[in-house]
Structure 1
């Protein structure tokens, strides 16, 4: 179970699937915050306003495909993992194509009975990445603090030498 808040963008048009997916995600991440959409322009806005940590997407949606979402993600340089949860991938080749196109994975809707088990590795990986990001942020914060202290020392040293130079210049001009 993951105890941190995780933003989940769910791109799906079937209300029953939405409920089932949310239920299974909440078993893994009780503090999950969800945004659900099946409108491409809204999805593009949510990427920047909601900042999802992970995205689950149906493959065929009303008026667009999950590959269009994936393509937009790649062009925007947004780095949340996108996992397809779909009943539309009927062959291994198409599934492989989604991975080659940049998807982080796919889950077939026929596996909804074991969805929890299928979701777990993605959230474990996300949790590990978030943990590493926190460690990196703490290290960057520590380095920033050290640099600011060194900068302060350098400024003080610079001011000291400026004063010494000014004092020597004043003595020479007298």
Structure 2
């Protein structure tokens, strides 16, 4: 059993599959921490704020496909392990393309009864790499969270600034309107 806690981002829209995946992972990981999303925006948010150790994704999702999730993940963290667990990849070329595109592995949902056995070698490789770089990984995770918090704060400041500029423009316009009203009253 893997005793290192793993932070796992699940990109999946089927509640049944989520339950099966979690149950199988708990057979091989002592303390898994899960976050669940169903779309790209949720994935991006969790990649920035949850900072997972690996991403597990379905291929067919309501608003996107697995390649889009993989591309987003690689854009945010090119070293992030990424595993497809899907019923879609029946085509050998498509399966090969997922690996060539950077996925760590893929498992067909028809193998769900043996999912823990299919995941075990992939997880062992991920954990081996994590342990080798554990201190660095934790510092990077904390730095990413801090940077993301700074970006969020700056976005809020920009939004506040835009609102203040709009309010100032309204005040200027009101002053201008009241002055022109006074001028018209003085002329009369």
> Does the Cα contact within 8 Å between 1:2 and 1:28 map onto a contact in 2?
yes
Instruction: Note the C-alpha offset of 1:18.
Output: 0.3
Gaps of at least 5 residues in structure 2 are: 138-188
Determine the structure 2 residue equivalent to 1:25.
25
Q: Which residue of 2 aligns with 1:134?
A: 134
Residue ranges of structure 1 left out of the alignment (5+ in a row): 138-174
Residues 13 and 37, structure 1, Cα contact 8 Å, conserved in 2: yes
User: What residue number does 1:125 align with?
Assistant: 125
Aligned partner of 2:70 in structure 1 is 70
Separation in structure 1 between the aligned mates of residue 41 and residue 89 of structure 2, nearest angstrom? 24
Quote the residue 2:58 is aligned against.
58
Aligned CA distance change for structure 1 residues 59 and 30 (closer, same or farther; 3 Å): same
Cα distance, 1:97 vs structure 2 = 0.6
* Offset of residue 77 of structure 1: 3.3
Correspondence for 1:9: 9
Decide whether the 8 Å contact of 1:73 with 1:79 is kept in 2: no
1:128-151 alpha-carbon deviations (Å, 9 max, x no partner): 0111113778xxxxxxxxxxxxxx
Please tell me the root mean square deviation across aligned C-alpha atoms, in Å.
Answer: 1.4
Q: Deviations over 1:81-128 (max 9, x none)?
A: 110000011111100011111111100001111111101011100110
CA contact (8 A) 1:59 1:65 kept: yes
Deviation larger for 26-35 or 69-78: 69-78
Does structure 1 residue 34 correspond to structure 2 residue 34?
yes
Q: Distance in 2 between matches of 1:73 and 1:134?
A: 21
Q: Is the 8 A contact 2:47 2:76 kept in 1?
A: no
- TM-score, with structure 1 as normaliser: 0.75
